[in-house]
Structure 1
């Protein structure tokens, strides 16, 4: 998937207002803050399937999947810091230029494309104590029809997106993408389709 750049939007106030909202007693995953998914598995992106063959220990079922993280102020700041750190440290390069192949998912060594940013951020948050079941590699479609990958973080305040193309951490519905599919919360090696019925114009399909 190619990496492109789009202007940062003024979403900080929205994000902070959302963060400041009082948490509900019982989490409702049917709330619009959470994107809905299919119950059955869907096809696995080729790049992730190859990644799992190379690193099978990272693509196993979760023994005790956590539905969502309770988002405290320190954890919110950690999300912002991880997103900013890897966005600054990694130089965006396509797989074709870096590895001479169309698609190759791996941990970046200073260079990488969108999936590599996602893998690095996900690993860093897991090492910091975040449950892996709440850190989901997600495939989206950009307005120009190109595929892209982001990290979807499930919190009690909704599904938040860490993206190498923008510095803010936004609620999924405040992003300009059409959400296609993501990792299953039950199994890191399985994927589920996503239901995004927002009216976002796209020009082409992705695999």
Structure 2
């Protein structure tokens, strides 16, 4: 497992060199291109009403994490641990409603619960809040999906419950729509994702 993690880390370093122009590159940059301010998801608004302490109306300087091998191993370990601890179950089955954001209830949850828990665990481990951003996308079935974007000096990395590996955002099969602002937890920003992916159509 550690050998695989080292290989993945080397691949991230190589991808970063490519994306920053050290070699020829015609694809997307290592960081998502952010657009204008947009409305937060309805589920996030509900989450903040229920957990006001987790959504302070504060502003901070955006940070990126220096992704050395130790940090990379920690990121992979926390992502894998949360994915193991939470068993997938829909909001309809858990709460009797189509959409409900919260921390995992009794070890069950859907994609938002995975994301919220990963964000909480990483913050407890000392990762800066401004680098841990809840992100909304369309998955390969064109359904709504949430992942955690981790902003690092090697680019935006994605923590996901559908794909076990931690990948650069442009290596994932999703169409990214919007995410938390890096300067305030209660503000959201649209994402200009023009990549050709397996998602055939997106309703914005």
**Which category of TM-score, normalised to the shorter sequence, fits these structures?**
0.7 to 0.9
Query: Which residue in 1 is equivalent to 2:41?
Result: 45
> What are the Cα deviations for residues 65-114 of structure 1, in whole angstroms up to 9, with x where unaligned?
33311111111111100110011110100000111001000000300000
Higher relative contact order (CA 8 A, sep 6+): 1
CA distance in 2, matches of 1:55, 1:65: 23
Query: Which residue in 2 is equivalent to 1:64?
Result: 60
- Is there any run of 5+ residues in structure 2 with no aligned partner, and where? 18-27
- Once the two structures are TM-superposed, the CA of residue 12 in structure 1 deviates from its matched residue by 7.6
Determine helix, strand or coil for the equivalent of 1:149. strand
Query: Which residue in 2 is equivalent to 1:132?
Result: 129
1:120 equivalent in alignment to 2:113? no
Determine helix, strand or coil for the equivalent of 2:61. coil
Which is richer in helix?
Answer: 2
Query: Which residue in 2 is equivalent to 1:174?
Result: 171
Match of 1:76 among 62, 72, 75: 72
Change (3 A) 1:45 1:34: same
1:150 equivalent in alignment to 2:147? yes
> What are the Cα deviations for residues 146-180 of structure 1, in whole angstroms up to 9, with x where unaligned?
01000000000000000001111000000000000
Match of 2:102 among 99, 106, 113: 106
- Once the two structures are TM-superposed, the CA of residue 16 in structure 1 deviates from its matched residue by 2.6
CA distance in 1, matches of 2:143, 2:78: 25
RMSD: 2.3
Task: Compute the TM-score of the two structures, normalised by the length of structure 1.
Answer: 0.84
Q: Is the 8 A contact 1:138 1:183 kept in 2?
A: yes
Task: Compute the TM-score of the two structures, normalised by the length of structure 2.
Answer: 0.85
Matched residue count: 190
- Once the two structures are TM-superposed, the CA of residue 53 in structure 1 deviates from its matched residue by 1.1
